[in-house]
Amino acid sequence: MSDGKDQGEPGKKPSALLYDGRRLSVADHRPVEEFPLALTVNGVDLATLIASPHDLTYLVAGFLRLQGLVRSADDILALSVCQDSGAAFIKIRGEGPGRLKPTLTSGCGSGITFNLDLPPPSPGDPTGGHPVFSPDDIYATMGEMARRAELHKARGGTHSSAVGDGRTVLLHAEDIGRHNTLDRIAGEALFKGIDLSGKILATSGRVSSEMVAKAAALGIALIASRTSPTDMAVRMCREQGITLVGYARGTRFTIYAHPWRIATPPEEEKIAGITGVILAGGASRRMGSNKALLPYQSGKLIEAIHRQMAALFDEILLVTNTPELFDFLPCRKVPDQIPGLGALSGIHSGLRHSPTPFVFVFACDMPHLNPDLIRRMASLAVGCDVVIPESGEGMEPLHAIYGKHALGPMEEALHAGEGRIVDFFDKVTVRRVSPEEVSRFDPRFLSFRNLNTPQDISRLRQEVTPAGGTEVGKPKTA
């Protein structure tokens, strides 16, 4: 845990924490190095190159060649690179260089830097009233940034950045240069009078020292990127009191500086004796595309469901006949053993492969898991073969607990061609959870709402979009 004083010693592996959707753990990752090298040519301070620290002689010679200052190796009379001081001293044939005309490229610049005055370093005190964000705030801001990247979707080759408060994205920009996206946001905020201090900056590109310097000038509290930071960016964030998050993809991210600003939820004890089973075998005919892979909460719908299930159960099984579509999910994938009979085939396969006496079965198109309701159902499983909740529409078999003793009757129904899930219920012990009892935990019965059509997706998005802004947090559940 960084307190703002661990500035990162040269040669020492910086500390980082991995958040996997459930808990924090020490991460074994050293950011790529960013090395400033000041060039002095014939006694003239020419430029500062920001580069990787290897083969610097080649870097300097190539820079001089492409700037037209030398034509051959014979034109370089002396070249000395001091790694400790970050300086290169060069003597070339002929007159010394004149003033270089700066050209700021779309990538990482042409080697010419402009000094940015940084604000006084933040003490990084968790008790000082600084903003604190949840992992869902980060997922949601990253997801909204990706959803707004219309230029990238149409043509590719661009970067995106977005600034928000964890619930609403305030500004978004695209450009072929990642640094330019932040300049665009800063300019728009200036004209519109928007204060960006204490906000989240999400970016699609690498976080360099220049990106951190610009973010610090805007008062940004947290930077999150889909890719990696540099070591200098990590050091600057620690000095400036900025929380730095890299590799924010799906349900995971790595924290490089000031983890106290991210309020990871307290990890509750897992439900013993039950395996979580996600059914991902539907045809999605009415939706027109695979429902499990729909964009949702900065990733895919099934990633959000897996994240919630993993917080409840030690093991998750995904029942699918197309496991290659779900390689990104860190769980075991199993196929139907008696295929062709719909959801009952999936429940049977999950129960057959489960290492525990019970499974909790949930469909991949139901985004509103309610942990309190599931824990209540789990408490009723002893002495039962099926624990199934009821809504106003009847029993909800795709949000239910099934025990191993139900395997025999389940297989009889399958071999008889009876694909309805309830067809074997008269041969097992069933505990129904009444609508009244369900409503104590889920008054709107959102746990049983699934997504079947594009209109369902539209309604879900409307639920999380208030008037006058783009809401990017969790859907309302009560």
Q: In terms of DSSP bridges, do strands 316-319 and 332-334 run parallel, antiparallel, or are they unpaired?
A: parallel
CB 397 within 8 A of CB 279: no
DSSP state of 149: -
SS3 for 402?
strand
Which residue matches tokens 């933040």? 122
SS3 for 358?
strand
What phi, psi does 410 have (nearest 5°)? -65, -45
Annotated catalytic, 108? yes
Token output for 86: 């970050």
CA nearest to 440, candidates 367, 362, 375: 375
Which residue matches tokens 């889920």? 442
> Which amino acid, residue 140?
A
Q: In what helix (H) or strand (E) does residue 25 lie, and over which residues does it extend?
A: strand 24-26
CA nearest to 454, candidates 230, 259, 263, 291: 291
CA nearest to 478, candidates 395, 372, 405: 372
Where helices occur in 259-406 by DSSP H, the ranges are 301-310, 343-353, 371-379
CA nearest to 227, candidates 201, 250, 257, 204: 204
The b/e string for 438-466 (b: 16+ C-beta within 10 A; e otherwise) is beebbeebbbbbebeeeebbeebeeebee
CB 24 within 8 A of CB 80: no
Q: In terms of DSSP bridges, do strands 399-403 and 386-391 run parallel, antiparallel, or are they unpaired?
A: antiparallel
SS3 content of the chain, % helix, strand, coil (to 5): 30, 25, 45
Which residue numbers are catalytic?
108
